């Protein structure tokens, strides 16, 4: 699927700390629950994957115990409901209430948990924008396996393991679908990585508070970002 394209200057993108503040501000001041935001993120991810994946392809979605993992679980449920073959790669035990609830829903919708399958599309929702480095060895091994595969690799928000250094182990995404606004860290990815931004449901007043213009989501909920550095 072809998405609208806009050039986005790096200096207008958000630092991760600023996006974290923006996200929390929207949640706390606009009655946007974490579960609602998780549903929005997961639906956008599912729509994005459905826009290029074939219905007969195998989709593997890697998830952890955080909110990004919850978004991946929402996407798994949605894609399975639409008839896709969806498998989960759960790299750590799901104990938090919201991801656990999303996992339960996904399994009821027919999502499978056999992680050791050959994927046509490998989705990285292992960790979110609050990730800390270095990664543990188990996750590094998973990332190495993904990077050596022929799957189309997609990251939700930012690639796991990537905080700006391409020499550190990270999920080498072909496509990144980041949430709400472009992040400066994504401008350090290889030029071959396609970057998209998806509407998370944050109102324009919040963007203005943080010195940004809201991306033109009124015509499409997903926009391709052409990063420029000047």
Q: What is the pLDDT of residues 163-200, one digit of tens each?
A: 999 999 999 999 999 999 999 999 999 999 999 999 99
CA–CA distance, 109 with 106 (Å, rounded to integer): 5
Q: What is the pLDDT of residues 86-136, one digit of tens each?
A: 999 999 999 999 999 999 999 999 999 999 999 999 999 999 888 888 999
pLDDT of residue 183: 96
Whether residue 230 has pLDDT greater than 70: no
pLDDT of residue 8: 93
pTM: 0.97
Query: Count of domains in the chain?
Result: 1
| Residue reference for tokens 């990285």 | 124
Please give the structure tokens belonging to residue 41.
Answer: 């993120």
Percent of the chain with pLDDT over 70: 100
State the pLDDT confidence band at 30, using cuts at 50, 70 and 90. very high
Q: What is the pLDDT of residues 37-95, one digit of tens each?
A: 999 999 999 999 999 999 999 999 999 999 999 999 999 999 999 999 999 999 999 99
Closest to 183 measured CA to CA, from 161, 160, 209, 157 = 157
Q: For residue 190, what are the domain limits?
A: 5-228
Look up the CATH number of the domain holding residue 125: 3.40.50.10260
CA–CA distance, 216 with 219 (Å, rounded to integer): 7
pLDDT of residue 130: 83
Percent of the chain with pLDDT over 90: 93
Q: How many CA atoms lie within 13 A of 134 on its CB side?
A: 8
CA–CA distance, 59 with 79 (Å, rounded to integer): 9
Pairing of strands 194-198, 222-228: antiparallel
pLDDT of residue 117: 96
């Amino acid at each position: 699927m072809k998405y609208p394209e806009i050039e986005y200057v790096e200096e207008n993108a958000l630092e991760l700390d600023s996006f974290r503040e923006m996200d929390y501000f929207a949640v706390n001041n606009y009655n946007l629950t974490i579960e609602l935001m998780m549903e929005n993120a997961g639906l956008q991810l599912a729509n994005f994957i459905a826009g290029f994946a074939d219905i007969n392809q195998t989709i593997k979605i890697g998830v952890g115990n955080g909110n990004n993992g919850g978004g991946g679980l929402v996407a798994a449920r949605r894609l399975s409901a639409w008839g896709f073959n969806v498998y989960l790669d759960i790299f750590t035990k799901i104990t938090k209430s919201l991801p656990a609830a999303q996992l339960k829903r996904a399994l009821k919708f027919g999502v499978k948990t056999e992680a050791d399958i050959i994927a046509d599309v490998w989705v990285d929702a292992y960790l979110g924008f609050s990730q800390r480095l270095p990664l543990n060895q188990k996750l590094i091994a998973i990332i190495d396996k993904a990077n050596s595969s022929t799957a189309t690799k997609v990251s939700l928000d930012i690639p796991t393991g990537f905080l700006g250094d391409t020499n550190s182990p990270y999920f080498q995404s072909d496509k990144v679908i980041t949430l709400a606004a472009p992040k400066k860290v994504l401008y350090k990815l290889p030029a071959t990585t396609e970057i998209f931004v998806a509407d998370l449901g944050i109102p324009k007043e919040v963007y203005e508070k943080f010195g940004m213009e809201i991306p033109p989501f009124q015509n499409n909920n997903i926009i391709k970002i052409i990063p420029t550095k000047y």
